[in-house]
Amino acid sequence: MTKPIIGILGGGQLGMMLCDAAKKIDVETHVFCPENDCPSRGRSTYFSAGDYTDKKEIIKFSNNVDYITYEFENIPIETIDFIADQKKIRPGKKSLLLTQDRLTEKKFLDELKVPIAPYKDLRTIDDISSAQDEFIDGIIKTRTLGYDGKGQFSLKNSDDPNEVFNKILNNSIIEKRIPFEFEVSVIIARDIKGNTSFFPVGKNIHENHILKHTYNPISLSKNQTKELINYSEKIITELNHIGVLAVEFFITKDQILVNEIAPRVHNSGHWTIDACSISQFEQHMLCVSGDEVKEPVLKNSAHMINIIGEEIEDWCDKNNTEKVKIHLYNKKEAKKGRKMGHVTELFSKEKIF
C-alpha cells in the first residue's frame, strides 16, 4: 500500500515537527516554503522552494500530494484558491479566513455566543475616544499579521487620540484589557468523521508578549474544564476543522474568555511530544490523512520552556536526559525574540501545577 503524502505549506519549526511526527505514523511529507534554508528542509520526504503567490508552482505542488495542511495561518488566501481540489486542504479555507483577521475572528466568536473581551473596530479618531471612555485601559492590535505581540500597543485613558491614531499603520481593533488571573490553552483535534479529542489543559506564561512557559496538567475546577472544552468543541465544529486547533483563554475571577484561535498545531502544545502517548503533531497528521483521532494518555506532567534568541547558546552543547528533553529548531541566526527551540521538563504524572 502506497504511503499517503501530506503537503505542508510552510517550513518553520511547526512544519519540522509535523514532518518528524509523520514518520512515526508512516506518512510521507512534502514541504512547500519560500525559503530554501528553513527548519523543515531535510526533515520532509520531499521539498519545494517557491513563492506562495506562484500559481504554477502551487498547482504543481498540490498535484504531487494527497492532502495539504499548513503550519501557520498567514498563508495568502489566493494560495488556497489556486488549489483545484479544495477537499485536499485540511483544515479548510474557512479556518484560515476566520483567523487571519482579528475582527473577523471576533465577529465569528460573537455569533457563536462564545464570551470574548469587549472590542471595537478602529476606523476613526472617535473610536479611540469612545474606547478610552468605555474601556479605561485598552490594547490596540493590528487586525492582520500580528503574532508574539507584534503590532500591539497599550491605549491609556490619558493618551491623545490624535497622536494614537497617527501611530496606527494598518487596520486595527481596540480590545479592553482584561485583568485575568492566568491564561490557558486547549489543544483540540477533530477528524473527518467529526470526532474530537483534546489534550490536558495547559497554563501559559508570557514574557515580552512571547510564550515562555507552559505547565501541564493544572488545577482547574470541573466546571472550568467543562466550559473550556465545550467552547473549544463549539469552535472546531463550526469551522468544520480537520486537524489540530488551539484556543487560548483568559481565566478571570468570575468568567472564562476566549483570547485567540490558532487553526494549527501550537507552541503551547509542544510538551505533548515528550509527555503524552501521542503528540499534537502526530494527532494532526492522523486527522489530515483521514485516520481517526486518538485519545492522548498523559505519561508525565510537564513544564515546557521556550528558548528565545541568544538563550540558544546555553543549550547547544547539552544532551537530553530522562527528565529534560531539548528540541532545537536549527535556525542559523539567533535574533532577538526569535524562538530557537524548546525544552520540556518531565515529572511524575501525579504532579499538578
Quick one: 161 and 57 in the same domain? no
For residue 148, is pLDDT > 70? no
Nearest Cα to Cα of residue 246 among 231, 227, 232, 257: 232
Q: Which of 138, 160, 176 is the last residue of a domain?
A: 176
Contacts of residues 196-200 at CB distance under 8 Å and 24 or more positions apart, as own/partner, are 196/233, 196/236, 196/237, 196/293, 197/283, 197/293, 197/294, 197/295, 197/296, 198/229, 198/232, 199/269, 199/272, 199/276, 199/280, 199/296, 200/298
Quick one: 53 and 128 in the same domain? no
Quick one: 128 and 194 in the same domain? no
pLDDT at 1: 60
Domain range enclosing 235: 182-347
Q: Which of 38, 71, 89 is the last residue of a domain?
A: 89
Nearest Cα to Cα of residue 154 among 182, 181, 183, 174: 174
Q: Is residue 226 part of a domain?
A: yes
Quick one: 190 and 296 in the same domain? yes
The mean pLDDT of the chain is 94
pLDDT at 156: 86
Quick one: 155 and 224 in the same domain? no
Quick one: 157 and 207 in the same domain? no
Reported as a single tens digit per residue, the pLDDT across 283-314 is 999 999 999 999 999 999 999 999 999 999 99
Reported as a single tens digit per residue, the pLDDT across 88-125 is 999 999 999 999 999 999 999 999 999 999 999 999 99
Quick one: 247 and 342 in the same domain? yes
| CATH number of the domain to which 77 belongs | 3.40.50.20
The percentage of the chain sitting over the pLDDT mark of 70, rounded to a whole number, equals 98
> What are 262's three cell numbers?
490558532
Quick one: 295 and 192 in the same domain? yes
For residue 175, is pLDDT > 90? yes
Quick one: 172 and 264 in the same domain? no
Nearest Cα to Cα of residue 343 among 279, 295, 275, 281: 275
Instruction: Give the total number of structural domains in the chain.
Output: 3
| CATH number of the domain to which 127 belongs | 3.30.1490.20
For residue 167, is pLDDT > 90? no
Say which residue the cell 512557559 belongs to.
213
- Tell me the pTM: 0.95
> What are 96's three cell numbers?
484560515
pLDDT at 164: 87
For residue 78, is pLDDT > 90? yes
Q: Is residue 193 part of a domain?
A: yes
Q: Is residue 340 part of a domain?
A: yes
Quick one: 283 and 339 in the same domain? yes
> What are 276's three cell numbers?
503524552
